[in-house]
Amino acid sequence: MGDTKTQNIGTVYLIGAGPGDPELITVRALRLLREADAVVYDNLIGLELVVSLPSHVERHYVGKRAGKHALPQDQINELLVRLAREGKTVARLKGGDPFIFGRGGEEARTLHANNIPFEVVPGITAGIAAPAYAGIPCTDREAASFVTFATGHKAGDKDLSSVDWDWMAGGHKGTLVIYMGVGELEHIVSTLIGKGMSPDTPSAMIERGTFPSQRSITAPLSGLPAKAKEFAIKAPAITIIGEVAALQPDMDWFMNMPLLGKRVMVLRPADQAEDMYASLRRLGAEVLTYPTIATDEVIDTSAWDAFGKITGDNRWLVFTSENGVRYFARQYLQRHADIRSLAHFRIAAIGAGTSRALADYHLTPDFVPLKATVASLAMEMTAELDLEGASVVRVRGNLADQTIEDALVASGATVLPQNVYRTYHPQWPEGFAGKLFEHPPEIIMFTSGSTAKGLVEMLTDDEVSSLTGNALLASIGPSTSDIIRSLGMTVAIEATTHSVPGLIDELVRYVTANPEDHS
């Protein structure tokens, strides 16, 4: 079956997203995901894969909601058929692999029965990935020559479980990997030992496999249930039984990263946060992707017409955000095609982040204030520059205030406000809010005052209090800190270099110096 639509019927792609780490998705799966018209996703999908989708993509959450059962499988099947019959390309995004305890086979049969074209994109299953991240190989030349995957769901109910535990107990020189067995662990272990498996068999459990917050325990088989209770192991978790579990001390490759296991909530717009996500993950953090602001383009034709008529030797472009740089450059190059035509303008930038955004277009600011605030930029420009008769283009979004405009006009400049984007509060995809409060952040990163205001707008007062009262709040700079405090929250960390890399560096310094905080 090909990638093209047949008779106005869309193709459904049954995609395995891997077990949690968003970077474990395959190249083909990621391409298809970004090309889809609609995405149908489960609870265990890495949030970054969904939140970073283009805004026009439909999002359909079919995972387990807090306090509610998952959407029944027959309704998921009906949804896939309906979306395809509407002519949409559908990405059915499933945790792990679609055909390893993912019910992908049922969905494929339904699609076939309804003459819906479909393709299967395999994914890395948790039964392989979680042990690998914990330093346990599923097979080993000396310890295990085969591996068996089994579901522990309803293991204690012979009418509902189809697993032959008697047969499993007789396996030698192999590895048994059990999915979904946390609630049935005691029954599974007692059954295996009762049917002849040695109580001394090495075993392990891995919670939240491949996430930076992954936890693992090892014990002889007979002691595994007690140790799981001691360490409060919760679903989702994988159980590994076999001699390979004893190899972990030699193969545990997790490094002593400074943010290892820390849950860090990032409020930055998803389309600007990819580098931030990657930097935090490299430091060991589990990144919670919850943008509280988003931007889109605004084209002010009359302002561009006025821009084209600016003359004189004293011309300035003033940028106070990375978004301003990005949208201005896009619109300018659509009109002029050659960045060198800006040579008659000098450039002012509010700080390091905006300066880096300019560098992407091979532009270097002529003026940067000592403090990365709008007030400092206005004060220092008017104090240090001759602006009498200057023509200043103030690149801005819809939320910018008049501080700079008023100061420059008072110094004798003519100011052209150039609106190139708007900022708004997005809707989180369905299921995100529930996951946030199931596993709340230990650290919240505020990259602008707008992200703080957005958090307050998108949650109730009680939710904000619960979320921020139990987390370290990290601010990119003094202006952002002032807004956070004005909203009744306490700033624990403030970057001395007012940029995303500066904020991350400050966070690492703080966590390293205060390991007991939120550990």
Q: What percent of the chain has pLDDT over 70?
A: 95
64, 154, 195, 227: the active-site residue:
64
pLDDT in tens, 368-394: 998 888 899 999 999 999 999 999 999
> Do 498 and 445 contact (CB within 8 A), yes or no?
no
**283 falls within a domain:** yes
418 with 276, same domain? no
pLDDT, the chain, mean? 91
Are 317 and 402 members of one domain?
Answer: yes
- The catalytic position among 21, 97, 168, 180 is 180
1 occurs within a structural domain: no
Q: What is the pLDDT of residues 337-349, one digit of tens each?
A: 788 889 999 999 9
Same domain, 284 and 241: no
Q: What is the mean pLDDT of residues 453-477?
A: 95
The predicted model scores a pTM of 0.80
Task: Tell me whether residue 64 is one of the annotated catalytic residues.
Answer: yes
- The answer to whether residue 195 is catalytic is no
- How many domains does the structure of the chain reveal? 4
Across 514-519, average pLDDT: 67
- The last residue of one of the domains, among 424, 459, 478, is 424
| Radius of gyration for the alpha carbons in the chain, expressed in angstroms and rounded | 27
Domain encompassing residue 486: 263-293+426-513
Tell me which of 487 and 152 has the higher pLDDT: 487
**Cα distance between residue 397 and residue 421, in whole Å:** 5
Q: Contact at 8 Å (CB) between 7 and 125?
A: no
The yes-or-no verdict on residue 94 having pLDDT over 70 is yes
Confidence check: pLDDT of 66 > 50: no
Does the pLDDT value for residue 90 go beyond 80? yes
Note the residue count of the chain.
519
- Side chain identity at residue 23, one-letter code: E
Instruction: Please confirm, yes or no, whether 180 is among the known catalytic residues.
Output: yes
pLDDT for 65: 53
Percentage of residues in the chain with pLDDT exceeding 90? 74
Cα 23 → chain centroid: 10
Give the end of a domain, one of 393, 424, 455.
Answer: 424
Distance CA 182, CA 148 (A): 18
pLDDT greater than 60 at residue 100: yes
